[in-house]
Amino acid sequence: VDLGTNPNTVSRIELMDLSGKVVRSAEVGSNLQFHWTVSEFKPGIYFLRLKGRTVVTHKILIK
């Protein structure tokens, strides 16, 4: 996950499964990139939620 050059717009990232359960999360702080190994997760559809001044959710597929 690459937050670009402005981490102030995102304070927390969450990876959720289809049931809405948060399977991984991280506080952003001064980190601009997060590396999660996808082999740790079961194949399927997940949602990546970026929380900050607004909340943005992206659907992702892990094979």
Residue-range definition of the domain harbouring residue 31:
7-62
In a domain, residue 31? The reply is: yes
- Number of structural domains (the chain) is 1
Q: What is the spatial distance between Cα 57 and Cα 4, in angstroms, rounded to a whole number?
A: 16
**The pLDDT of residue 59:** 94
Residues of the chain short of pLDDT 50, as ranges, are none
Own/partner contacts of 56-63, CB < 8 Å, gap of 24 or more, are: 62/38
Q: Is residue 23 part of a domain?
A: yes
* Residue 39 domain-assigned (yes or no): yes
Give Dmax over CA atoms of the chain in angstroms.
32
- Is 52 part of any domain? yes
Phi-psi region of 55 (alpha: psi -120 to 50; beta: other; left: phi over 0): beta
* pLDDT score of 6: 57
Examine residue 24 and state whether it is found in any structural domain, yes or no. Answer: yes
**Residue 2 placed within a domain:** no
Which pLDDT score is estimated for 5?
A: 55
Q: Tell me, yes or no, whether 36 lies in a domain.
A: yes
